[in-house]
Amino acid sequence: MNRTLIYKIEEKDSPCTVESFLKARGYSRQIIIQLKKNDDGITVNGRWAYVKTMLRTGDELKIFLEETQSSEHIRPVLLPLAIVWEDEDILVLNKPADMPVHPSVNNYDNTLANAVAHYYRSAGEEFIFRCINRLDRDTTGLLIVAKNALSASVLSSQMKKRQIHRTYLALCDGILPSSQGTIDAPIARKEGSAIERCVDLERGERAVTHYKVLETRRHVTLAELHLETGRTHQIRVHMQYLGSPLLGDYLYHPDFTCISRVALHSSALAFTHPITREPMQFRVPLPKDMAEAFYQTGYGSI
């Protein structure tokens, strides 16, 4: 999607080149190259400018981000799309269960990308699907979609630096060993499996998960979890390792099926807005299937 940004140069930033000013605000080298190719990409005080043009206090720098491509291979499909927040730069969504994020083999028209494509196609807008954080097909909860190249660049950098903070809720089979704690156990691919992971003290990559018990009922624990690292299936593997695997987990706890999917929910997100730099915080409640599995009476207080 096209995006126009206007910056008023302040004394603290002056003097500097256009290029250094943009880099300080998260513009990647690729974005700056594209701006140079567009006659309207960079203007200072209403005039076309080079990236080496010097900026002074009071100057007005105008940037026009033009979208020249689209995710044309993603088919628009009317699917559930729960929008938690939308502005010119980001879309925050609450993903339902049984929905992959990206199209893949045998999943061409049932993904979050298909739903977003339909949403914007219905509004007459083209888009490139840029999902910043990912969730497994069965995991519900909060995701960020960047609506332009700049917000994608800035948010991707935040992800790499572990500056996007996610909170998960999980239903665990059994009583956890303490009210809160940390699991520091390396994870590797399980031998003979292309999907399954396991704790492997010799071959594994470092993985750290922090947990806190919120409530326990009938030997089922509702736990809050925070990831310090981002290994595949990290929460599922670590809770199994702790002796309290997730309910409904067909890989790591196949004998306990009181819920039809892995009982894991991305309940909260905290990050810095890629353009305004304002702190952003979002929270969504426990989904109905997890609440019913835990309380047996519908929604609880979480």
pLDDT in tens, 68-97: 777 888 999 999 999 999 999 999 999 999
Structural domain harbouring 239: 167-265
pLDDT tens digits, 164-183: 999 999 999 999 999 999 99
What is the model's pLDDT at position 69? 77
Is 59 inside a domain boundary?
yes
Using alpha carbons only, give the angle 281, 286, 289 rounded to the nearest 5 degrees: 150
The token pair at 239 is 């809770």
Please indicate, yes or no, whether residues 230 and 171 belong to a single structural domain of this protein: yes
Is 229 inside a domain boundary?
yes
What pLDDT band is residue 255 in, cutting at 50, 70 and 90? confident
* pLDDT above 60: residue 67: yes
What is the model's pLDDT at position 124? 87
DSSP 145-185: EESSHHHHHHHHHHHHTT-SEEEEEEEEES--SSSEEEEE-
Which one of the listed residues 89, 136, 173, 289 is annotated catalytic?
Answer: 136
What is the model's pLDDT at position 125? 86
CA separation for the pair 87, 279 (Å, rounded):
14
Listed residues 161, 191, 217: the one ending a domain: 161
* pLDDT above 80: residue 211: yes
- The number of distinct structural domains making up the chain is 3
Residues in the chain: 302
Please indicate, yes or no, whether residues 176 and 231 belong to a single structural domain of this protein: yes
Closest by CA to 218, choosing from 264, 175, 265, 168, is 175
Closest by CA to 76, choosing from 129, 130, 113, is 113
Is 107 inside a domain boundary?
yes
Helix axis angle for 29-37 and 149-160, nearest 10°, is: 170
Please indicate, yes or no, whether residues 175 and 252 belong to a single structural domain of this protein: yes
The structure's pTM equals: 0.90
pLDDT tens digits, 128-162: 999 999 899 999 999 999 999 999 999 999 999 99
Is 272 inside a domain boundary?
no
Please indicate, yes or no, whether residues 171 and 252 belong to a single structural domain of this protein: yes
- The 3-state secondary structure of 34-55, one letter per residue: HHHHCCCCEEECCEECCCCCEE
Q: Helices (H) and strands (E) in the chain — how many of each?
A: 6, 18
Please indicate, yes or no, whether residues 101 and 27 belong to a single structural domain of this protein: no
Q: For a pLDDT cut of 90, what percent of the chain falls above it? A: 87
Please indicate, yes or no, whether residues 14 and 30 belong to a single structural domain of this protein: yes
Please indicate, yes or no, whether residues 173 and 241 belong to a single structural domain of this protein: yes
Q: What is the average pLDDT across 34-61?
A: 95
Listed residues 65, 94, 112: the one ending a domain: 65
What is the model's pLDDT at position 25? 95
Is 144 inside a domain boundary?
yes
* pLDDT above 70: residue 36: yes
What is the model's pLDDT at position 256? 60
Which residues lie across from 283 on neighbouring strands?
268
Q: What is the CATH number of the domain that holds 31?
A: 3.10.290.10
* pLDDT above 50: residue 300: no
Is 215 inside a domain boundary?
yes
What pLDDT band is residue 297 in, cutting at 50, 70 and 90? very low
Please indicate, yes or no, whether residues 74 and 137 belong to a single structural domain of this protein: yes
What is the model's pLDDT at position 298? 40
Listed residues 48, 65, 82: the one ending a domain: 65
Please indicate, yes or no, whether residues 56 and 78 belong to a single structural domain of this protein: no
What is the model's pLDDT at position 51? 95
Please indicate, yes or no, whether residues 92 and 142 belong to a single structural domain of this protein: yes
Please indicate, yes or no, whether residues 178 and 249 belong to a single structural domain of this protein: yes
Is 13 designated active site? Answer: no
Closest by CA to 137, choosing from 269, 252, 249, is 249
Is 113 inside a domain boundary?
yes
pLDDT tens digits, 256-292: 667 999 999 999 999 999 999 999 999 999 999 999 9
Q: What is the CATH number of the domain that holds 150?
A: 3.30.2350.10
What is the model's pLDDT at position 258? 79
Q: For a pLDDT cut of 70, what percent of the chain falls above it? A: 97
